Structure 1
Amino acid sequence: MTPPPADPRTLARMTGILAARPLPARSQAFDLLLAGTLCMTAGFLSLAQVRLAGVLAFGMLVPLIWRRTRPELTFFAVSSVAVLQWLSDTQLMAGNVGLLIALYAISVYGEVRYSRIALGVGGLGVLMATARYYGNSDWRQQVTMMVALGALVFGVWAIGERRRTRGLYVAQLEERAAQLERDRDRESKLAVSNERTRIAREIHDVVAHGLSIMIVQADGGLYAADASPEQAKKALATIGDTGRASLTEMRKMLGLLKQDEQLELDPDQPRPQPGVSSLPELVENVRQAGLAVDYEVTGRPRDLPALLGLTAYRIVQEGLTNTLKHAGPGARTSVRLDFGREMLTVVVSDDGRGAGVAPSSDPGHGLVGMRQRASISGGTVSAGPKPGGGYEVIARLPYHLTGGEQ
């Protein structure tokens, strides 16, 4: 597979990543062994040819020990020795293989700009070598040697450049895979955090609603204890039933919070998911708490996605809880669900005296919580006093943003 070309900024960044990686001990040992082997063979062959040639050969071969860690410095050192060879008119020798290895090293491990400079230096060396060592030859032989040496230099550089590009491509894939893994972990933690926040809001709704009913019943039972013992007993029974139901639901949600930090959001795991079908039971419980509630459904009822049904249920529950807290004695409340063509409209209104305090009594979980729930489903919530007295909450929840019409 041929790696796609990368832009210069990506090449520079990935080259920096590769250069920053520590060199394995095995690679260091290989470079030392390579330089030693070349010194023992090509170096001593050159030394047998001419003593100066042997010295120059060792000067070209010993720097290869640092060909990966210091590729630019290695190429500069080897090239400098080659210039000394040219100035001293020393013939080509076996140690000149160090030039090709240094050129290959800088094309693989060096920066891109230095690699291209090294190719230019190699081309200049071909011209200098042809002029020095084949200047007295026939022009055809000069051209042949120039082409041959140029092809050798360019071929070594091209092989190294290809290996560098492939290495950068692999490093880029590794970095991308690592980034995707980090993103996955971050999204997983965020999902767990969101789930815990949702459960905390559910616990608030359960506790606030249950306690509101229990407080109203307790006050009513205390008032009727002497005059109407039967009514007081009924209030106490309602308190017990409400407390047990709220405790059962809260235990389910607390069980979710007790899971470990690596909580996996299993779609099959049970969740407390009341919906629109649970609203009549909710309204009946509030009625038993002493609040007069009218419940009305208009339009053609339909099956709703779980999230939309839960949102509608919690908005009604929060609205009735606020009415219990703030509307005052004798207040009447109405809950209306309008199944329109494109959205479900939920209206909770009362004629009590608590219009001024309901929206701001609990800004963290009251109206703000309703709006957060509605926004998740793509809907809106508006709330405020009604003309003539009372308070009204209106939620508009579209169908199509939550799965469409069933």
Structure 2
Amino acid sequence: MTGILTARPLPARSRAFDLLLAGALCVTAGFLSLAQAHFGGILAFGMLVPLIWRRTHPELVFFAVCSVAALQWLIGVDLQPGNIGLLVALYAISVYGDTRLSRIALGIGGLGVLMAVSRYWSNSDWKQQVTMMVALGALVFGVWAFGERRRTRGLYVNQLEERAAQLERDRDRESKLAVSNERTRIAREIHDVVAHGLSIMIVQADGGLYAADQSPEAAKKALATIGDTGRASLTEMRKMLGLLKQDEQNELDPNQPRPQPGVSSLPELIDNVREAGLNVTYDVTGEPRDLPALLGLTAYRIVQEGLTNTLKHAGPGARTSVSLDFGREMLTVVVTDDGRGAGVAPSSDPGHGLVGMRQRASVSGGTVSAGPKAGGGYEVIAKLPYNLPSGE
């Protein structure tokens, strides 16, 4: 019984439709009832006007219309066009009303059929009485069943919409969590990169101090190395701090920091992947050069993530190739396979690995593109400039 007196929220367009419907029924069925039953036809408006609130207060409307119909039966007014309000009210409570009260309304509708047959067809033979009872009963039950079906379908659609909204919220939350975790991991890695640069600077400073008196040229060379290393480390650190939007107060891994992998570690990575059963070819074009620690780490992680995705999605027997092209201004990393990964809908999984690859590439001023190949398979292309953007 709770909620009967509480109005349901209703859009303005729906309120206007209900007002128009009730008005049209009053003009047609209401005045036809007046012409048919004269003074008794006034009761028709009592069954039609409440339909204005059929969606906001369906239970009250139904019981109000039934009360007017019961009064019509008691005073002996014949059936009239205004009685259509009973069916509209029954439909409204079955769609918009409380489920338990909707079933009670069906029972009341069945009782109304018996009352109508006993009053208006009392002088007919039993065959006509049975025919009218079945016909009216089928009409009442049909209207109620149609409304219940409409209610069930509406609930199902609402559940689907809510589920889709929840899935979208979960996806956004997981994506943000993936980015947050990736940033935390990159912050830990940049710690090792900067620590490596500072270690070089300390060693060069100690050596330069020792050689200052005996070999001024060696001391100058050490100072130049310190300057280059310091500028490179500072640029990398500023780039990272500009990317991270949260306070850098995360606790570091308690384990002893280890040197981060780079391009030189790729052969070992590829050998490990081959041992896992993936057919991988490795090709290097151009003239290899020494890369900044962060750039080498980015290239390594992109290849690692690309091979991991191939192992997960390409399927058995897939062939994979990894190529590095040392161009004049940038390093191009390509990881491609001929497996079935292209058959997976990109929207079905946002891909946390792809988020990580793009995040890493953006830190180094590069870009990553990934997607199915035209001839089948999947391809990841990363373009990583050798020099970070200036002006940081």
- For 1:26 and 1:56, the matched residues in 2 are separated by 29
Q: Tell me, what secondary structure is at the counterpart of 1:68?
A: coil
Percent identical across equivalent pairs?
A: 79
Matches within 5 A, 1:312-323: none
Partner of 1:275 in structure 2?
Answer: 261
Q: Tell me, what secondary structure is at the counterpart of 2:76?
A: coil
- Choose which of 162, 167, 175 in structure 2 pairs with 1:175: 162
Q: Tell me, what secondary structure is at the counterpart of 1:53?
A: helix
Matches within 5 A, 1:322-401: none
Matches within 5 A, 1:196-207: 196-207=183-194
Q: Tell me, what secondary structure is at the counterpart of 2:271?
A: coil
Matches within 5 A, 1:223-302: 223-226=210-213, 229=216, 232-233=219-220, 235-247=222-234, 249-250=236-237, 253=240, 275=261, 278=264, 302=271
Matches within 5 A, 1:38-53: 38-53=25-40
User: Conserved in 2, the CA contact under 8 Å of 1:274 and 1:310?
Assistant: no
Report how many residues are paired: 265
| Partner deviation per Cα, 1:195-227 (whole Å, 9 max, x = no partner) | 322332232221122113312432343344335
- Choose which of 120, 129, 132 in structure 2 pairs with 1:142: 129
The worse-fitting range, judged by mean Cα deviation, of 70-79 and 104-113 is: 104-113
One-letter amino acid matched to 1:161: E
The worse-fitting range, judged by mean Cα deviation, of 127-136 and 31-40 is: 127-136
| Partner deviation per Cα, 1:222-263 (whole Å, 9 max, x = no partner) | 3443356465445434424533543465466567559xxxxx
- For 1:221 and 1:173, the matched residues in 2 are separated by 71
One-letter amino acid matched to 1:104: Y
Partner of 1:69 in structure 2?
Answer: 56
Shift of the alpha carbon at 1:56? 1.3
User: How has the CA–CA distance of structure 1 residues 99 and 256 changed in structure 2, closer, same or farther, with 3 Å as cutoff?
Assistant: same
User: How has the CA–CA distance of structure 1 residues 37 and 249 changed in structure 2, closer, same or farther, with 3 Å as cutoff?
Assistant: closer
TM-score computed with the length of structure 1 as normaliser: 0.57
Shift of the alpha carbon at 1:61? 0.6
One-letter amino acid matched to 2:51: L
Partner of 2:378 in structure 1?
Answer: none
Partner of 1:85 in structure 2?
Answer: 72
- Choose which of 116, 119, 125 in structure 1 pairs with 2:112: 125
> Where does the alignment leave 5 or more consecutive residues of structure 2 unmatched?
246-258, 275-296, 305-392
Partner of 1:105 in structure 2?
Answer: 92
TM-score computed with the length of structure 2 as normaliser: 0.58
Shift of the alpha carbon at 1:190? 2.1
User: How has the CA–CA distance of structure 1 residues 26 and 234 changed in structure 2, closer, same or farther, with 3 Å as cutoff?
Assistant: closer
User: Conserved in 1, the CA contact under 8 Å of 2:207 and 2:222?
Assistant: yes
Q: Tell me, what secondary structure is at the counterpart of 2:65?
A: helix
Shift of the alpha carbon at 1:304? 5.2
- For 1:104 and 1:301, the matched residues in 2 are separated by 69
Partner of 2:102 in structure 1?
Answer: 115
- For 2:49 and 2:270, the matched residues in 1 are separated by 87
> Where does the alignment leave 5 or more consecutive residues of structure 1 unmatched?
1-15, 259-272, 281-298, 314-406
User: Conserved in 2, the CA contact under 8 Å of 1:71 and 1:105?
Assistant: yes
- Choose which of 149, 174, 182 in structure 2 pairs with 1:187: 174
User: Conserved in 1, the CA contact under 8 Å of 2:54 and 2:92?
Assistant: yes
Q: Tell me, what secondary structure is at the counterpart of 1:137?
A: coil
Partner of 2:372 in structure 1?
Answer: none
Partner of 2:309 in structure 1?
Answer: none
Partner of 1:218 in structure 2?
Answer: 205
Larger Rg: 1
User: How has the CA–CA distance of structure 1 residues 248 and 279 changed in structure 2, closer, same or farther, with 3 Å as cutoff?
Assistant: farther
Q: Tell me, what secondary structure is at the counterpart of 2:184?
A: helix
One-letter amino acid matched to 2:24: T
User: Conserved in 1, the CA contact under 8 Å of 2:18 and 2:51?
Assistant: yes
Shift of the alpha carbon at 1:174? 1.9
Shift of the alpha carbon at 1:20? 8.8
One-letter amino acid matched to 1:86: W
One-letter amino acid matched to 2:261: G
